[in-house]
Structure 1
């Protein structure tokens, strides 16, 4: 959402002053993008809409805290939406907290660009939603929204290692789903061990 600093400042000022037209303009401007953000974290459409509405309420309640020098208005609203969606579904988040080594999560190979070019957002989202909810949440925060493992850990009350494990697990499972014709590392290792 490309919004000049001047336009954003005008909208923010209007919202701080409880001007209906400014609030409506802000809502309409970010409605589609922020609803999509909520859908990426919450599969149930009614629950996603609930998160969206609660998120916008938080936006209007805390808009006086927005600082244009620290970031862009759309990014600030997006973070509120993400945190609201996660808070709404926190009880459903179940994390694997097993201690893992870096060698288990070091596989940076993900999905080839050729495969991704053939997929639409809905196809990718459908595959992401097959992941366990905790793994899906970490994947979304890291890959879709650019959060660091430290930020994810703080938001979800998990260690950075747990966050890394869930991201690696998400990538492994998505690679299998999106590139079913390619052999996974595990299958390759098993074949080599069996001498085939």
Structure 2
């Protein structure tokens, strides 16, 4: 049977057909791999987060409603949440570091504004995992500080600290490259 459309693929996934699941995986792999790459350096972590997310997509495919949005957007959200869970569960450093006092300048200058995607991935890769995740969600994904705090189970002060830490590290790196 030749699968002609995404509708056919979704129907096949709902019936637990391996060929449909593989087709969906292959179709979404490039975009979802790029998403996970924003959070991890190690290819094994990237693949693990992606596979865990896709497993959740397959398990919950019955909950997908095409009237509410595109399948890729729905899968993207599930895989992003799986990446954050993997980051939380496997981080060498505790993510929940309380910082007293708000760091007001944490949301100032966007260090990625004038870079291309290859450069952004390169510089994000230089940040510690938790800081990279916060900066990715804030600068790339456009999440608000409250949303990041809820997603990553951090206090808002800790999110602001990670944003400030990320900007400080990135400023040093970008200054060396004459970009900042």
Tell me if TM exceeds 0.5: yes
Instruction: Rate the CA distance shift 1:69–1:161 in 2: closer, same or farther, 3 A.
Output: farther
Which ranges of structure 1 fall in alignment gaps of 5 or more residues?
1-6, 185-196
Alignment TM-score, normalising by the size of structure 1? 0.75
Alignment of 1:35-184 (within 5 A): 35-91=33-89, 92=91, 93-101=94-102, 103-105=104-106, 108-111=108-111, 113=113, 115-116=114-115, 119=116, 121-180=117-176
Alignment TM-score, normalising by the size of structure 2? 0.81
- If you compute each CA radius of gyration, which structure gives the higher value, 1 or 2? 1
Alpha-carbon offset, residue 31 of structure 1 = 0.9
Alpha-carbon offset, residue 181 of structure 1 = 6.8
User: Aligned-residue CA RMSD in angstroms?
Assistant: 2.6
Alpha-carbon offset, residue 90 of structure 1 = 1.1
Deviations 1:147-179 (A, max 9, x none): 222221112111223223322331232133123
The structure with the largest helix share of the pair is 1
4+ runs of 1 displaced by more than 4 Å?
none
**What is the DSSP-based 3-state SS (H/G/I as helix, E as strand, rest coil) of the residue aligned with 2:149?**
helix
Bigger RCO (CA 8 Å, 6+ sep):
2
Deviations 1:95-138 (A, max 9, x none): 442123353435x223375x51xx4x333222212222211111
